[in-house]
Amino acid sequence: AQRVTQPEKLLSVFKGAPVELKCNYSYSGSPELFWYVQYSRQRLQLLLRHISRESIKGFTADLNKGETSFHLKKPFAQEEDSAMYYCALGTSYGKLTFGQGTILTVHP
Amino acid sequence: ETGVTQSPTHLIKTRGQQVTLRCSSQSGHNTVSWYQQALGQGPQFIFQYYREEENGRGNFPPRFSGLQFPNYSSELNVNALELDDSALYLCASSLETGTGEQYFGPGTRLTVT
């Protein structure tokens, strides 16, 4: 069975501080991992996917198959990064299994 | 390019009733997935439609059913509503099946009393 765990419901940092949102997954197949973000009063949107290996809005995430993790990192948080972040695991036909989400608050 | 739209925005139903939610996929997308998001939880996969056929289903009972039309818009139908069906229902479209890169609509908030 697939499972995604985001251990932190809430995460608070100050502007300019590094931030790391944790994500662990359980899946017997070859995983496809994503981070989705929901800003206040906006719809859920894709932030990044592991196969593209891009840096989006300064965020990066590395898939660690040994630790079954896909943590999201940013070296210097900005106030506009405050949002709900969901880690998601994709199957072969595109079903997404989401974690419970982490609310990130960046204080000025 | 038109994004994913959903209707209605909100609705209130009574236990035992039936409800139909609608979704228009993003232009050019032929795959639609539906998710249920309970308060404080992440979205949970209900099912996916690809070229008018159900292409995968999550752990939801048969009273949750769907349709996809030739223009790739979709409906989610829920029969015999239960109080636990109260949730935000999200529709997401994608260019093809097999991708987790999905574009979400704003959702329909269903309240069952």
Question: Could you read off the pLDDT of B78-97 as tens digits, one per residue?
Answer: 999 999 999 999 999 998 87
Say how far apart CA B43 and CA B34 lie, in whole Å. Answer: 9
**A32 contacts B42? CB cut-off 8 A:** no
Note the pLDDT tens digit of each residue in A51-88: 777 788 999 998 998 999 999 999 999 999 999 999 99
Closest CA relative to residue A62, chosen from A21, A3, A15, A5:
A21
What are the tokens at A91? Answer: 């199957």
CB A23 within 8 A of CB A4: yes
Q: Long-range contacts: A46-55, Cβ < 8 Å, 24+?
A: A46/B101, A46/B102, A46/B103, A47/A72, A47/A85, A48/A72, A49/B100, A49/B101
- Residues in chain A with CB shorter than 8 Å from the CB of B92 are 44, 96
* Cβ pairs bridging A and B (under 8 Å): 68
pLDDT at A78: 97
**A95 contacts B48? CB cut-off 8 A:** yes
Of A43, A44, A94, which is closest to B100 when you measure between CB atoms?
Answer: A94
Instruction: Please check the confidence at residue A96 and state whether its pLDDT lies above 60.
Output: yes
User: Closest chain A residue to B46 measured between Cα atoms?
Assistant: A95
Query: What is the arithmetic mean of pLDDT over A27-45?
Result: 93
- Smallest CA–CA distance, residue A4 to chain B, in Å, is 10
**A99 contacts B98? CB cut-off 8 A:** no
Closest CA relative to residue B8, chosen from B20, B17, B18:
B20
Dihedral angle computed from the Cα positions of residues B98, B75, B57 and B16, in that order, rounded to the nearest 10 degrees: 160
- Residues in chain A with CB shorter than 8 Å from the CB of B4 are 43
pLDDT at B37: 97
pLDDT at B60: 97
User: Closest chain B residue to A99 measured between Cα atoms?
Assistant: B42
Mean pLDDT, chain B cut into blocks of 10 residues (113 residues total): 90 98 94 96 96 93 96 96 98 87 96 98
> Angle CA(B70)–CA(B76)–CA(B78) in degrees, nearest 5?
145
Note the pLDDT tens digit of each residue in A12-25: 999 999 999 999 99
Closest CA relative to residue B28, chosen from B96, B91, B74:
B96
User: Closest chain A residue to B95 measured between Cα atoms?
Assistant: A94
Residue type, B90: L
User: Closest chain B residue to A5 measured between Cα atoms?
Assistant: B42
